[in-house]
Homo-oligomer: A and B are copies of this chain.
């Protein structure tokens, strides 16, 4: 198990139960896990980014802290609109997968539905001789179509 994963799990466990919010000391956590403090920033950047449904604030200086807030989604329609705005005309595979993960985590897509979408957009499926630009454009269109289909079914 990678250290980054351990840290991620640790934080998610803290968030898991009741509150949507944790506060922690960067140096403490780093020492606890025996890693460089900046490793914490890495974890925040790669696992608790806005596109993964989290926001972070922090404060430097004496008594500093890092606060991680889980953003809860309310209303499938709103979600769909938000995500559509984020997608635009072109999207990378990584970003697409992140959005799909977010849909799953927020309960807007079942496990299976998320897997289906990921399968359609994944590298294996799109392993066809096209330029990255064309692939990204195609992905954006497909993802939007699928999210619309999802939203459509949900309030049907």
Once the chains bind, are A119 and B63 in contact (CB under 8 Å)?
Answer: no
A145 near B: Cβ within 8 Å? yes
Once the chains bind, are B141 and A128 in contact (CB under 8 Å)?
Answer: yes
A127 to B137, CA, bound (A): 10
A62 to B144, CA, bound (A): 34
Once the chains bind, are A141 and B116 in contact (CB under 8 Å)?
Answer: no
A137 to B146, CA, bound (A): 20
A37 near B: Cβ within 8 Å? no
Chain A contact residue count (CB 8 A cutoff):
39
Closest Cβ of chain B to A42, distance in Å, is 12
Interface string of A124-140 (1 = CB under 8 A from B): 11111010001001100
Q: Which of A94-142 contact B (CB under 8 A)?
A: 110-113, 115-122, 124-128, 130, 134, 137-138, 141-142
Closest 4 A/B residue pairs (Cβ)? A2-B63, A119-B149, A119-B145, A125-B145
Please name 9 further chain A to chain B contacts, defined as beta carbons within 8 Å, in addition to the given A122-B145, A130-B134, sorted by A numbering. Answer: A2-B62, A2-B63, A112-B149, A112-B153, A116-B117, A120-B142, A126-B141, A127-B141, A128-B138
Enumerate 24 A-B pairs (CB-CB under 8 Å) in ascending A order: A2-B62, A111-B156, A112-B153, A113-B113, A115-B149, A115-B153, A116-B116, A116-B146, A116-B150, A118-B149, A119-B142, A120-B120, A120-B142, A120-B146, A124-B145, A125-B138, A125-B142, A126-B138, A126-B141, A126-B142, A128-B134, A128-B138, A128-B141, A130-B134
